[in-house]
Chain A
Amino acid sequence: MRLLLVDDEEELVSTLAERLTMRGIDATWVTNYQEALAAVEREHFDLALLDVRLPQMNGLELKRLIAARRPEMKFIFLTGHGSEEDFEACSAESGPEYYLIKPVQIEVLMAKINELTQS
């Protein structure tokens, strides 16, 4: 079970990665889309957790780029904003239940991850 975390907040993404690792998930984190794309090129991931508002490229476009390379990958969006436009666009891509607003309790996140990986 390999997970890619993409968020420009390093403090957040590193800590979250560490906590997920404690829970038995092989989590890798990056803070921008270039690194994210590089990681996807390099390695295999089952799942990506994407921030919607990334510098230079939003999470949705990133998701499309990744999905083009790795069609089998699943996605969860994580955002602090939750505007109507974001919600509509992202839930159209991934389903509204995988659009999460920060802060998220680790148990909730784990539940979503399990749902996605088991389906």
Chain B
Amino acid sequence: MPLLDRFKPKFLDHHDQSSGMYKSLFNFRLLWKQSIAITLAVVLLPLFTLAFVNYRVSTDAVESELLLRTSRLVSNARRTLTAYLHERIIALNFLILDTSFEQLNSQTRLGDLLNHLKSGLGEWHDLGLIDHTGIQVNYAGPDNLRGIDYSRQEWYSKLNYKDQESYHDTIGMRSDISDIFLGFRKAPHLVVSVLHNNPEGQHYILRAGLQIAPLNNILTHLEVRGDGDAFLINHKGVIQTPSRYYGEIMTRFPLPVPPPSDRTEVFEGKDHLGRAIVTGYAYITGTPFILMVIKQKSTLMAGWEAARTKLLIFLAGSVLAILAVVFSICTYLVNSIYRADQKRLASLHQVEYANKMASIGRLSAGVAHEINNPLAIINEKAGLIKDLFTFRQEYANDHRLIGLVEAIIAAVDRCATITRQLLNFARNIQVTLQKVDIRQVVADVLAFQNKEAGYRNIEIKVAISEDVPEFFSDRGKLQQIFINLVNNAFAAMKEGGRLEILCRLSDDGSHIVTKVSDTGCGIPPENIKKIFEPFFTTKSGSGGTGLGLSITYGLVREIGGTIDIESTIDTGTSFTITLPVEYPKQQGEHNAPIAG
């Protein structure tokens, strides 16, 4: 806690006790809170707004970029696949147009054609000729499929009767591309067929089995980022080429088949395992295939998320820095205002006190003057009585009367002492400047007191630091000040006390600070404010007039100094006198006009 207290600004504990004209101008705690709140709001609100907007914009940009890329990838792959399949159809079509049924029906000729196709376009599995009854009349390839009846098969009837949806509509050929299936050979492949009508009106079909390796190749060589998966499904949702995440070939695709569309489509969603995915798909026209490209969004966004984390850390850092700066600046500023306000209060207080003392001074002088004249009359009348007694023999032996007169004169003397002290307090007797060594002054004062100190067993300690210079001041007044303070200290202490006179140069070297402390009875707080007022005394019954400290106050002010008091009951009292090293020039010091 003490460490915290060291850094804790003082205004936080400020409680306004005074009222009226000395009331503080500000509520510092509120001022502090308000300035921090307003500054933070002004700084942080735009920062957060900007950060939020920027975040939204960046996320949107990254996401749309993601969709765009996927879309581009799907389009390209679709074009490649379409071109590949189209090429096969065109090749078959060329054969069926170029070669007569009879030639195709020749075993060797068909075998030659298959070999040519394999060498030119690669990955052809077999080639078959089907006549108008649906029987495969000729076959070239590794399997013996001659004589198989295809007339009941769906693709056959589709090729025969359902013209509208087939590929040949667009390119002027009657052709068909099958799903990928296991077929008689129990190996995944697909079949392309082309139908031709001869001039006799009888049609025949050239049918070729294709290995799916080239398709797989095209798809696996796609550069799909983000743990991407590119594969084909057919319209019924059966997976046609190997997929990394969504099942084996010929099994069912776990997600719903996307709705038909002429264009490449991209959408975001979740897969069957609940992972966020970006799906791009395209229906490949004239085929039963749908090209699917599925990317894992988390992988795609990983780069962006790393950047986002850095941004968030930067934001948090900025906020912390702003908090620290705003906090310290506000604290510093409010503390400065607080200190200025405290100084203002202190000087107001000082001015008020000085004014009060001046008023009391004027009042005292007036009272003293008015009393002094009647006092002088009493003095002279009593003196005359005494003179008469002394000079005329008939009264000379009446000791009682002489005693009475002397008592009157003694009382007048006491009154005169008081009125003189009042006048002393009130008037600024001309200051006589001379070079003064405070060591000598203290020594002179203590010379009077050493006897009493020894008698009362009071220890006296004097410590005047080396750097205290000789300075210009009024030696007599300075002596009077110290005599008063030392007397005061002695009066406050019982036997065995301790008097300390410490003197040093102030930190800026402009003032001499002297502290006179005793270990006496102390002064109650309620009396401290009144301690410099005339006639305020606690030494009732012991002959104190209550003027000592007020005169001391006046003297210190006259030589340009200030006097402060600190006191703790039963522990002691210290008076601190601060005197300027350079004696302040006062206007009209030596040429004051005569008052009328």
Q: Which residues of A contact B (CB under 8 A)?
A: 9, 11-12, 15-16, 18-19, 22, 58, 60, 80-89, 91, 101-106
Contact = CB atoms under 8 A, between A and B. Distances in A.
Contact of A19 (B384, B428, B593): B384
26 contacts: A9-B373, A9-B376, A11-B377, A12-B380, A15-B381, A16-B380, A19-B380, A19-B383, A60-B594, A80-B369, A80-B376, A81-B368, A81-B372, A82-B369, A83-B365, A84-B430, A85-B595, A87-B429, A87-B430, A91-B430, A101-B423, A103-B372, A103-B378, A103-B380, A105-B409, A105-B413
B384 A18 contact: yes
A6 to B, nearest CB: 14
A103 B594 contact: no
Contact of A106 (B370, B383, B592): B383
Interface string B365-404: 1001110110111111101100100010000000000000
B360 to A, nearest CB: 15
A80 B367 CA distance: 10
Contacts of B326: none
B521 interface: no
A86 B427 CA distance: 10
10 nearest interchain CB pairs? Answer: A80-B372, A103-B379, A102-B376, A15-B380, A103-B376, A85-B595, A89-B594, A81-B369, A84-B427, A102-B372
Interface core residue of B383, B420, B430 (most chain A CB under 10 Å): B383
Nearest to A58: B596
Contacts of B502: none
Contacts of B427: 82-84, 87
A88 B430 contact: yes
B250 interface: no
Contacts of A102: 372-373, 375-376, 379, 416
Contact of B372 (A18, A58, A85, A101): A101
Interface string B584-596: 0000000011111
A81 B416 CA distance: 12
A22 B365 contact: no
A10 B430 CA distance: 32
Contacts, number: 93
B190 interface: no
B412 interface: yes
A23 to B, nearest CB: 8
Contacts of A19: 380, 383-384, 387
B357 to A, nearest CB: 15
Contacts of B369: 80-82
A91 B592 CA distance: 13
A88 B383 contact: no
Contacts of A91: 430
A80 to B, nearest CB: 3
B365 A81 contact: yes
Contacts of A84: 427-430, 592
B595 A15 contact: no
Contacts of B372: 80-81, 101-103
Contacts of A18: 384, 387
B306 to A, nearest CB: 86
Nearest to A90: B594
Contacts of B594: 58, 60, 85-86, 89
B416 to A, nearest CB: 5
A3 to B, nearest CB: 15
Contacts of A12: 373, 376-377, 380
A21 to B, nearest CB: 10
A15 B378 CA distance: 10
Given A81-B369, A86-B594, A103-B412, 8 more contacts: A12-B380, A15-B381, A16-B380, A81-B372, A83-B427, A89-B594, A101-B423, A102-B379
A90 to B, nearest CB: 9
A98 B572 CA distance: 43
Interface in B543-596: 592-596
Nearest to A80: B372
Contacts of A89: 592, 594
A101 B423 CA distance: 10
A86 B596 CA distance: 9
B232 to A, nearest CB: 118
Nearest to B427: A84
B368 to A, nearest CB: 8
B380 to A, nearest CB: 4
A89 B595 CA distance: 9
Contacts of A87: 427, 429-430
B417 to A, nearest CB: 11
A12 B382 CA distance: 11
Nearest to A81: B369
B380 A88 contact: no
Contacts of B391: 22
A104 B365 CA distance: 18
Interface in B416-457: 416, 419-420, 423, 427-430
A74 to B, nearest CB: 21
Contact of B592 (A82, A88, A101, A104): A88
Nearest to B424: A82
